[in-house]
Amino acid sequence: MRRINSSDLPQADRVESVLLTVLAVAHGARTDLEIANKVPGIQGDDRQGRYYRKAAEMLGFIENHKNNSTLTTKGNSLVQNPTISNSLFISSVLNLEIYQKLLPYLELHPAGRTRKQIIDYLQLIAEPSMGSSMIPRRISTILAWPRSLGFLNLSESGYFKIQNNFNNEVPFFKIHDYTQPLLPATGELNEYEEIEKRVSNAINEILVFKDQAKLERASNSHVTLVNLIARRIREIGGIPKSNQLIDLAVRLDQDYIFEMKSTNNKNSRSQIRKGISQLYEYRYLQNKPQAKLILVIENPLNIDQSWMLDYLEMDRNINLVWDGNNKLFGTEKTKKDLPFLNLS
């Protein structure tokens, strides 16, 4: 399991001003002091300029060499639409290790967690060498960023709760570490360690899966299927999640794992067979033996292939869903099993 270290913790208090830092560099600011002088509230403070510059570096928008900051390719893309609602900006924040670990933990506790409970959890999964004082010193900033982006709110009673602010621009939560639980049950270290052990033992197969998943996700039809399912999940309040292997997973009344396959009349059988094996293996790797498995394909099966539908649902206990002009279809059994998908 990748533990949190000091380089994962932002020091810049206002995420809005991190965006202003990127704009300052776009307009010619190079040194920390020049950056500070272009960001309201920190003018003349080169130390704060350094904090905000480092935050923009963490997000991948600028690079710095000997106190000389320039935009990255990603930074140039951001300044074409310089708002904190830009999906590129939001995704970059959510990709930080601190939020990769924090938001799934908060999802486990829908009633919310206190500041102290959050600190205790983060210290549990932090590098021991980081010391006991750093997270308490940085916690205000850590919590401020997702609050500003609409992914965290604070109740009047002092509980921080995850808020589902995913949308068509940021359709699901991408977890970049495939040894991290997509559907954690406890958030305890032993849960991380068990998945890491399983992944490590199957690493050669996983490298093949990663390459295959990367290739499949490049197709427009695959993206369409993922986004269709993710939208249905969001509409009923779920948080769809993904990693480098698993197309989508979500915890609702139970845990669900989805695999999407682009299909046509010639490749349906081979694609379905791949999907079956992947779903079973992903469920094992995630240590979720009770998770419900769903295979989503691009086109309905033809008459000659119809036996596979019965095989999947009755023999393998895998629900089959298919697309049809941006509508999702399934059998009566699947409609009953998966009411949240609102299948036709």
For 250-295, the pLDDT digits (tens) are 999 999 999 999 998 889 999 999 999 999 999 999 999 999 999 9
Question: Could you tell me how far CA 7 lies from the centroid of its own chain?
Answer: 20
> Tell me, what's the pLDDT at 149?
98
CATH of domain 7-82: 1.10.10.10
| Start-end of H helices in 165-320 | 189-201, 203-216, 220-235, 268-285, 307-310
75's CB contacts (< 8 A; 6+ apart) are: 22, 25, 26, 56, 60, 61, 62
State the DSSP code for 327: -
189-341 shares the fold of 7-82: no
DSSP code, position 291: P
So what's the pLDDT on residue 31? Answer: 98
CATH of 94-172, one of 1.10.357, 1.10.730, 1.25.60, 1.10.10: 1.10.10
CATH assignment of 189-341? 3.40.1350
With a CB cutoff of 8 Å and minimum separation 6, the contacts of 278 are 209, 245, 259
What pLDDT digit, counting tens, does each position of 57-98 carry?
A: 999 999 999 999 999 999 999 999 999 999 999 999 999 999
Backbone angles phi, psi at 174, to 5 degrees: -90, 120
Distances in whole angstroms, Cα of residue 95 to Cα of each of 58, 269, 339: 10, 36, 31
> Can you give the residue ranges of every domain in the chain?
7-82, 94-172, 189-341
Give the pLDDT of residue 280: 97
Intervals of the chain under pLDDT 70? none
Say how far apart CA 344 and CA 327 lie, in whole Å: 7
Please state, in angstroms and rounded to a whole number, the distance separating the CA atoms of residues 311 and 318: 9
